[in-house]
Structure 1
Amino acid sequence: MSDNRKLNNIFWKTYLNCIILGVLSMSSVKAFERASTNDNRVIIKKMVLEQAAKIGVSAPLALAVAHAESNFNPYAKSTKGARGVMQIMPATSLGEYGIAPDKLWNPKVNISVGLHYLKKLLIRYRGRVDLALSFYNGGSAVDRKGIGRPQVIPYTQKYVMKVTRLRFTYQKQLGLGNF
């Protein structure tokens, strides 16, 4: 069974059992939803760590990007159409990796595509995390226009700073030294 289906099954079985037992007041429904969301985040974080190790992206950076993009929500969708944990645009998924847009709702696929794309940008910009993050956030269309010396895209500066702060937070949580 896929991880996505496991998440849904756990949520609905527990939720329905609570309704049947009549133990859900409005405040406990909200508490239950928060707890379920936290459980889902733990599962998603584990997937991010597994894929980061497999693909060769630092764990703190991978977690920071997933956190900034969707707060580990596999069902997140931006107003521009980016999908899933890593907020992948369907055009990027299809154009760069040949993966159909509907597959982006699978967290494992989404995380894999996002981390492969991030690694590609890290290589392209010779390990400059700030540039890789700027172009990750700015999109593949902006990346293809890059002529001359690359610079952080002005409208992505807040995003780059946010991910950098989160990266240091996850580095501390994971007990890692300098990276």
Structure 2
Amino acid sequence: MLRPRSLVGLALVGLLCAPALASGGDVYSYVDGDGVVHFSNAPNDPRYRRVNRTRSGGGVYRSGPQARARPVAASADRYTQWRAHVASAAARYALPEALLLAVMSVESNFDHRAVSEKGAMGLMQLMPGTAKDMYVSDAWDPSQNIDGGARYLRILANQYQGDLVKTLAAYNAGPEAVRRAGGDVPNIPETREYVRKVVALYEAYKAGK
């Protein structure tokens, strides 16, 4: 069973809601010369490009067995080497470090070489199309991969007004699957289990376990 969304929202809505983006219509983004990411639903700069949020089948593929973690927090030495990248991406996209660690744990078990049977790559298991949309030129580079996954989580969090459960469901199954489910978690056992695992790990990392 998933945790009640009301309980999850109490802990996370403030962290996941900013910076705000429109929840409907197209979203555009670009990275300026200082590395700052800009988002808009009314682009007024030629550098903006549309972010694809509704690719059928999901922008991030559900990890295969070789890249699926158990729903327990990994020991610190499993992710210490990625901690600086996680901290940077978390600060850049206003996301909790614990959330990025939880997603990374379930997606790849902190293996930067992980690849799914459908071609999702690296620590955050980015599909090639999603990597391109998130300005990731080398999905095997841990820093770029973490940044791309965090960027996509931020877009989804804004799309779902900070609702952690919907954000994770869309990261796993794709926004289109969430839309077809009436804006709720799709009735896909793997997606429901994925959300449960990530939320459990998020709570564990927050508690320092």
Q: After superposition, what is the alpha-carbon deviation per residue over 1:81-135, rounded to whole angstroms, capped at 9, x for unaligned?
A: 11001000001122x23434xx000000000000000010000001110000001
Conserved 8 A contact 1:84-1:104: yes
Q: Which residue of 2 aligns with 1:99?
A: 136
Q: TM-score scaled by structure 1?
A: 0.67
Distance 2:203 2:113 in 1: 26
Counterpart of 1:60 (choices 71, 74, 98) is: 98
Give the match for residue 30 of structure 1: none
Structure with the bigger percentage of helix: 1
2:157 partner SS: helix
1:84 match = 122
Paired residue secondary structure (2:124): coil
Query: How much is the aligned-residue C-alpha RMSD, in angstroms?
Result: 2.3
Q: Structure 2: which 5+ residue stretches go unaligned?
A: 1-75
Higher strand share: 2
Q: Is the 8 A contact 1:41 1:73 kept in 2?
A: no
1:42 paired to 2:77: no
> Who is 2:146 aligned against?
111
Secondary structure in structure 1 of the residue aligned to 2:139: helix
Among 143, 147, 169, the residue aligned to 1:134: 169
1:125 to 160, 180, 185: 160
Q: Tell me the alpha carbon deviations over residues 67-92 of structure 1, each in whole angstroms, 9 at most, x when there is no partner.
A: 11111111110111110010000011
For 2:81, give the aligned amino acid: I
Larger Rg: 1
Q: Is the 8 A contact 1:77 1:87 kept in 2?
A: yes
**Structure with higher RCO (Cα < 8 A, 6+ apart):** 2
CA distance in 2, matches of 1:119, 1:141: 17
1:69 matched to 2:101? The reply is no
Alignment counterpart, residue 151 of structure 1, candidates 177, 180, 184: 184
Alignment partners' CA distance in 2, 1:99 and 1:59: 20
In structure 2, C-alpha distance between the alignment counterparts of 1:81 and 1:139, rounded to whole Å = 15
Deviation for aligned residue 1:148: 8.0
Q: Once superposed, which parts of structure 1, at least 4 consecutive aligned residues long, lie more than 6 Å away? A: none
* TM-score, with structure 2 as normaliser: 0.58
Q: 1:168 to 1:39 in 2, by over 3 A?
A: closer
